[in-house]
Structure 1
């Protein structure tokens, strides 16, 4: 990595995103805290700074073209570029998500944030990443995005509850990750998907068994891969996840 590594973490005002920002900041990186809520974003920045992190706020709504474009300009003018992008912002889409009788807007909301939002941010940030010495893109996925795990649990419901919005959106995010890795294979940009495990956040009403700090560990590892590290992979703490 360059002497002064710049990272952007989307959805970084709380939970796993906040802990990713804190972990990267502990490495001496300068970290952009991407979030759409002004008050929560600035509160997170203040807390990170109090802990010694060189953090700065990045107003960012991943569903809005103008907001994402403005975030890219801010990184260019105020931070001087971007080395690492962690696409952490995500939503469930709402409940219920039973495949029979689901409100189509529930599916649409999950895909808009979890998939289209990632594509929108990557496209805006690519010109900056291409100028970095060791650029990395980390897409925060989930184990429920694994078709292998989902199909193995048919009739048993072991891989999360029935979900026709959130889980498929993470499957699509995994596919998008592969496509970017293929498209950027002749560059130095490494693109990977990360599963934080069943982490206690407001996304699951804090039912998870892992702490946000534990959930952030895999993203931090992928954000700090060496130049000869993997690309187009899907990882959790224990290793590779089957697609």
Structure 2
């Protein structure tokens, strides 16, 4: 049975992604910053007879928490097949480059960028033991420098979140380098935008969470001929999924 670890999986897109992977026969380690919230999510899944799942307490913004999560999962398995770096924050208001504080930038980068770095480095040894390791970094088209500077982009005048966008652009660069360093191996590493989705992150505006989950799961299940080192947004480009950095 293949296994997956998903950060920020107690709600929203992370929870939906966990649900879909469970339905496909995976054993899922459901990462949650708050153990109580993670347990509630676990109960929801088990109520749907999805039982190959357990909660792992992890705050990706804290190095000790990440180390403890690695120890806990290491007690249960020697191999991890899929890592989905989903945990993230939006940075909060004010959203503009001139008004946002340095504390906002630091906190957001600590979760959205350094958190991914911490988790990836902590779990890379387990992933290396998988015959088909997959890493999906959950990103957003808002983090595309090309789109953000294109006045013809459909979201040009309203997707202006300087703190969040900057953090995701940095995450994208991390993804590029990670894919490069793992080139020539069985790894597939991609940055995937799930699309504007109805969750608490967006005030429950946007598309259906099931579709967002499907977009992430697709890249967690790539075969040996699948892409790597790509920036994917099927919402933006329904044809090939690839969008400019």
Same fold (TM over 0.5): yes
Number of the residue aligned with 2:23: 26
TM-score (norm 1): 0.94
1:148 alignment partner in structure 2: 146
- Confirm or deny that 1:200 pairs with 2:198: yes
Counterpart-to-counterpart distance in 1, 2:229 and 2:129 = 20
Alignment match, 2:68: 70
2:156 counterpart (155, 158, 162): 158
What residue number does 2:33 align with?
A: 36
Change in Cα spacing, 1:88 to 1:128, as seen in structure 2 (3 Å) is same
| TM-score when normalising by structure 2 | 0.93
The residue correspondences of 1:40-189 to structure 2 (distance < 5 A) are 40-53=37-50, 54-153=52-151, 158=156, 160-189=158-187
Matching residue of 1:212: 209
Cα distance per residue 1:2-22 (max 9 Å; x no partner) = xx1000010000000000000
Whole-angstrom CA distance in 2 between matches of 1:160 and 1:38: 35
CA distance in 2, matches of 1:97, 1:154: 22
Count of aligned pairs between the two proteins:
239
* Structure 2 gap ranges (5+): none
Instruction: Supply the distance in 1 between the matched residues of 2:222 and 2:153 (Cα, whole angstroms).
Output: 38
Residues in 2 aligned to 1:230 and 1:155: alpha-carbon distance in whole angstroms? 25
Asked if 1 retains the 8 angstrom alpha-carbon contact of 2:142 and 2:159, the reply is no
Alpha-carbon deviation of 1:101?
A: 2.5
Using the TM superposition, give the Cα deviation of residue 154 of structure 1 relative to its aligned residue in structure 2, in angstroms: 8.3
Structure 1 consecutive aligned stretches of length 4 or more whose deviation exceeds 4 Å: 154-157
- C-alpha distance in 1, partners of 2:10/2:106? 24
User: Does the C-alpha gap of structure 1 residues 67 and 162 become closer, same or farther in structure 2, counting only changes over 3 Å?
Assistant: same
Query: 1:236, CA displacement in angstroms?
Result: 2.1
1:10 aligns with 2:13: no
